[in-house]
Chains A and B, each alone.
Chain A
Amino acid sequence: MREITLQRFTLSIIIAAALMLFLPVIMNTFVLTPLLIYGMLGMSLGLIWGFGGILCFGQAAFFGLGAYAYAISAINIGESTIPMLIAVMVPAIFAAVLGAMMFYGRLGDVYLGVITLVVTLIFFKFMNSTAGPDYVIGTARLGGFNGIPGFQTLNIPGLPDDYIYGDSLYYVTFVLLVVAYWLVNWLLQSPFGRVAVAIRENEQRVSLMGYDIRARKTILFAIGGAIAGLAGALFANWAEIVTPGLFSLSQTAEIIIWCIVGGLGTRLGPILGAAGLAYLKFLLGQQAFIDNTIIMGLILVLFVLFLPKGLIPAIESVWKLSVGKRRRCHPSRRRKGRAITNG
């Protein structure tokens, strides 16, 4: 068992490294970086929704919170290492508090959706209304709908003048995405992750087994918030500005669409769904004939109708079918062989 996972781990690292070096050959890193960031954001919702059964309509809130936390603390602190940590911690803590209120309050799924959505809208409204000079945190002005520009962007830890931008930001983002992906994988294989999946399947039974589902859901929700926050911080570094649009309704809806299209309950699905759809949106954005929201809506409808489980499960079943066909010639032989040795 352990050997196989080690093999898989090595293999996936090799694939990831090859992909990381190959992609810039065919595409501009300035286009690639946000695709990776969206992949990470998709993964954060994929984790809590696909594996924990928590449908959150407010994943954009943690994304935006991460971006703002980075921008504000970078203006105040300068060197980017601590701002990056803050950008992960703030959304994580916020998610933990929000999650605790919802899960310990035994709110149903519908209320959970409503509350997370409303929280996102409140952030959106609030950040839009902070144009005045009174809205300052330390030396950082929140800037209302204009957002916050001109903060210190990512630098090599300890060297505030050595910026990580352009191609290097792409490589750093790629590595962080792979690391986050493997941490999520590790989490899902751990007892905590297995119990999380069990909670998705049947909360009552998990309680009857003796697990405290409220605490576990809160922790999972906070982990999802942390990953979304990291994505937000990276986005702030790529865009070099943060605006209230990060908290917008369309942003939050898109994350959900990425997960559905990529495949809920799969590890890679939400990442690929996010990167793929974001790239499509980028391509559509370069032309003016068709409105890209219409295309996005159409894609979602088509997927829900024809591939309701999403892309990755569909590919998997096609793969299994073809492999199954190939294998079907062997078993008779294998079975005979076994019968002989047994006899």
Chain B
Amino acid sequence: MAETVLETSGLTMTFGGVTACDAVDFKLKARELRCLIGPNGAGKSTFFKCLTGLLKPTSGAVFMQGEETTNWHTHEISSLGVGIKTQVASVLDGVTVHENIWLAARRFFSSSIAETKAKETIERLYLGDIAKSNVGQLAHGERQRVELGIVAAGDPWLVLLDEPAAGMTSEDVDRMTEIIREMTTTAAVIIVEHDMQFIRSIATDVTVFHQGGILLEGNVEQVMSDETVRNVYLGKKA
């Protein structure tokens, strides 16, 4: 049995009167692939931000590989080997694609190994043609892929992807599916997505967020056919 690498207990985040995360108990095993779904405003991005220290949770605790990381600084959590792709692409606009990925790798490796890692990652993510371009000039889908490269370059054991397929062409999505599959050989991955097609293609376990809490967890088909889930989420869409 794989061990639990990520666990939250009673994780709560309130903004004034809004409770964006409401006592979330969540568990993830090593190399597990989990999709997080839920209507807009359900608190998925807030949950990610609490995990990575971008937000300090109001209450509750986060454990990574058995160690409590609640209230740690973002850079300390990232240094453990946690990579996150934020909902709005967070990249370094003024420098090249290569520099973006090299810097991500350099945190964990020496300069020369980081160079090798960067080259590998650029190849793996089909960024070769634009490696020398400034990220600020790139199209939306390319920026998303650069950010994925930044996440992958540090060989993380936990990967959080917030709507990675948003605004991508189907060709891009296919590539991404392949890359994410590759990632799961070494890392546990959580993906926030609205695209059901995409979720089905990755076919995995799903956690449904609703009003800051976990509504349901289970196999993708089982979750999709669930009455309550249809009501709060799919019902709106279909």
Q: Of all chain A residues, which has the CB nearest B136? A: A201
- Smallest CB–CB gap between A105 and chain B, Å? 14
Contact A195 B94 (CB under 8 A): no
* Nearest chain B residue, comparing its CB with the CB of A213: B75
Q: A194, B99: Cβ atoms under 8 Å?
A: yes
Cα(A213)–Cα(B76), bound, Å? 11
Distance between Cα atoms of A194 and B114 in the complex (Å) = 13
- Contacting residues, chain A, for B94 (C-beta < 8 A): 197, 200-201
- CB-CB nearest 5 A-B residue pairs: A210-B78, A210-B79, A201-B92, A207-B74, A210-B107
20 new A-B contacts at CB < 8 Å, known A202-B90, A204-B54, A209-B154: A191-B111, A194-B103, A195-B103, A195-B106, A197-B94, A201-B92, A201-B95, A202-B91, A202-B93, A204-B86, A205-B90, A205-B150, A207-B74, A208-B52, A208-B84, A209-B75, A209-B78, A211-B75, A212-B73, A212-B75
A194-B99, A195-B103 known; A208-B78 Cβ under 8 A: yes
Candidates A198, A204, A212; contact of B103 at CB < 8 Å = A198
B92 lies within 8 A of A205 (CB): yes
Expressed in whole angstroms, the Cα–Cα distance for A292 and B89 within the complex equals 47
A213 vs chain B, min Cβ distance (A): 7
Q: List B53-102 residues whose CB lies under 8 Å from chain A.
A: 54, 73-75, 78-79, 83-84, 86, 90-95, 99, 102
B126 at the interface (CB under 8 A from A): no
Q: How many chain B residues have a CB neighbour from A under 8 Å?
A: 26
Question: Are B95 and A209 in contact (CB-based, < 8 A)?
Answer: no
* Set of chain B residues within 8 Å of A210, measured between Cβ atoms: 75, 78-79, 107-108, 154
Residue in B closest to A202 when the chains form the complex, CB atoms: B92
**A/B interface sample: 11 pairs, CB < 8 A:** A198-B95, A200-B94, A202-B90, A202-B92, A204-B86, A205-B91, A205-B92, A206-B103, A207-B74, A208-B78, A208-B83
User: Does A209 contact B91, Cβ atoms closer than 8 Å?
Assistant: no
For A209, the chain B residues whose CB sits under 8 A away are: 75, 78, 103-104, 107, 150, 154
CB contact between B95 and one of A197, A211, A212, A213 (< 8 Å): that residue:
A197
* Residues of B near any A CB (own CB < 8 A): 52, 54, 73-75, 78-79, 83-84, 86, 90-95, 99, 102-104, 106-108, 111, 150, 154
Asked if B92 and A198 make an inter-chain contact with CB atoms under 8 angstroms apart, the answer reads yes
A113 to chain B, nearest CB (A): 21
Task: Provide the residues of chain A in CB contact with B106, threshold 8 Å.
Answer: 191, 194-195
> A198, A204, A208, A213 — which one has the most chain B CB atoms within 10 A of its CB?
A208
Question: How many Å from the CB of A219 to the closest CB on chain B?
Answer: 15
A208 touches B79 (CB 8 A): no
- Return chain B residues, CB-CB under 8 Å to A198: 92, 95, 99, 103
Q: How far is the CA of A201 from the CA of B108 in the complex (A)?
A: 20
The answer to whether residues A207 and B92 also contact, given A194-B99, A194-B103 and a CB cut-off of 8 A, is no
Residues of A within 8 A of B150 (CB): 205, 209
A168-210: CB near B (< 8 Å → 1, else 0) gives 0000000000000000000000010011011011101111111
> Chain B residue with minimal CB distance to A201?
B92
Contact at B92–A211, with CB atoms within 8 Å?
A: no
Contacts of B107 in A (CB 8 A): 209-211
